[in-house]
Amino acid sequence: MIDFYALGLYLRNWLLIIACFFRTRLMSNFAKDMEILALRSQLSITQQQILNGKISKPRFTPAFRQLWRLLSTLLPDWQSALFLVKPETVIGWHRKSFKFFWKLKSRKPGRPKISPATIALIKRIHRENLLLSPEKIHEQLVNLGISDTPAPNTIAKYIPKSPKTPNGKQILSWKTFLHNHRNNIWAMDFFVVPTLYFKMLYVLVIISHDRRKIEHFAVTSNPSSAWVAQEIREATPYGATPEYLIHDNDTIFTSSYFNQFLNNTNIKSKKTGYHCPWQNGICERVIGTLRRELLYHIIPFNQRHLESLLSGYINKYYNPARTHQGIECQIPVPSIEWPVSSAADTVLVSEPILGGLYHNYKKLAA
């Protein structure tokens, strides 16, 4: 049911914003300065009243949230103009808008829904016959003369699954493999990043196990087996290939074309088990690091912007400056060993990275 009242308020707010924009474009610079002065004087009074608790913080309309989502990309110093909310709140609005956008876009007809009576019958047969597979339940219903019998794949959705946990021997054997061959293992995986305009970009990350170094990354909107194979060629110049490559069961990684490519390059494919992300834990961890330390703070504008952000973070901070507990608090790319000195005698020079989000430090000679 469409709420026409809320829709009308939403359109009214956007019309007011557009009218203010065109009105501002027609004003002279002096008139703009005077209006800014007048608005800031009223804002200071409102700010003081909110801080003193005399008036409550206003509730924000969807138009206001989307406007600030747009200003966060177009306005250079948009954080300093915020008063009522924090910058993290604006970024949170973008994530919620992204989820809502794809929720609307993903509404497709699909298969027809089955009736609650059929679902109850499926659950009853499964409850009374725990060893029956979805195919056997389907055959039972057909033999009983039920006309609207769903397919076995549909029946499987309503049967509770009991995932098999790996036993101690399986965990020990995999950990032993990772430990014994860590110097010759690379791992790779995809993760998805939404842009400002809700376009989905796929980021491929390839990391080495021995030094936790990100060997290569790439961004695309249409991943394929041929594209991944080309990225691996770029990550392994002059034939410097790893012995093993760990990846999940994505169809891009398990295709015949990609497996043939790995065989031609003498790389042994090591697929993880289904629903076993712990087997590719180092790659999963670095993806979480990229999200927490970079992508949760900056919304990429487009593919070129995302590539620039990842390049600055990985090549200027993650690989040459960030320490890792997995390699005894060292950095992936070894740097020069600085002479030992006390804090009082140490002079540091900082290099800002990504506009000051992080810094790389160098020690000056005393």
Dump the DSSP string for 154-203.
HHHHTS---PPPPPHHHHHHHHHHHHHTGGGEEEEEEEEEE-TT--EEEE
- Domain at 168-327, CATH homologous superfamily: Ribonuclease H-like superfamily/Ribonuclease H (3.30.420.10)
| Helix, strand, coil abundance in the chain, percent, nearest 5 | 50, 15, 35
Regarding predicted confidence, which is higher, 73 or 176?
Answer: 176
- The Cα–Cα gap between 328 and 135 comes to 52
Residue 129 — φ and ψ, nearest 5°?
Answer: -140, 80
- The Cα–Cα gap between 248 and 277 comes to 8
- The Cα–Cα gap between 280 and 284 comes to 6
Residue 234: per-residue pLDDT: 93
Residue 1: per-residue pLDDT: 45
Kindly report the length of the chain. 366
Nearest Cα residue to 314 out of 362, 358, 248, 349: 358
- The Cα–Cα gap between 98 and 195 comes to 9
pLDDT above 90 coverage of the chain, percent: 33
Average pLDDT over residues 54-74: 70
Question: Among positive and negative, which fits the CA dihedral 80, 84, 86, 90?
Answer: negative
Residue 98: per-residue pLDDT: 78
Q: In this predicted model, what pLDDT tens digit does every residue of 177-221 receive, in sequence order?
A: 888 898 999 999 999 999 998 899 999 999 999 999 999 999 999
Q: Return the exposure string of 115-136: e unless at least 16 CB atoms fall within 10 Å of the residue's CB, then b.
A: eeebbebbeebbeeeeebebee
Residue 161: per-residue pLDDT: 72
State the DSSP H helix or E strand holding residue 205, giving kind and residue range, or none if neither: strand 200-208
- The Cα–Cα gap between 87 and 267 comes to 45
What does each C-alpha distance from 287 to 72, 291, 310, 329 come to in angstroms? 24, 6, 12, 19
User: Beta-carbon neighbour count of residue 264 at 10 Å?
Assistant: 9
Dump the DSSP string for 242-290.
-SEEEE---HHHHSHHHHHHHHHTT-EEEEPPTT-GGGGHHHHHHHHHH
Residue 109: per-residue pLDDT: 60
Which DSSP symbol is given to 330?
Answer: B
Average pLDDT over residues 73-84: 69
Contact 122, 155 (CB under 8 A): yes
Give all strands (DSSP E) within 25-146, no chain letters.
none
- The Cα–Cα gap between 291 and 36 comes to 37
Residues of the chain with CATH 3.30.420.10: 168-327
Question: Among positive and negative, which fits the CA dihedral 201, 206, 211, 212?
Answer: positive
pLDDT bin (cut points 50, 70, 90) of residue 263 is very high
> Which residues, other chains included, contact 177 with Cβ-Cβ below 8 Å and sequence gap of 6+?
none
Contact 199, 221 (CB under 8 A): yes
Residue 22: per-residue pLDDT: 72
Query: Is residue 5 over pLDDT 60?
Result: no
Q: In this predicted model, what pLDDT tens digit does every residue of 123-174 receive, in sequence order?
A: 888 888 877 888 888 888 888 788 788 888 888 888 877 556 666 666 678 8
Nearest Cα residue to 83 out of 96, 68, 66: 68
The model's pTM: 0.62
Tally DSSP H helices, then E strands, for the chain.
Answer: 13, 7
Residue type, position 204, single letter = L
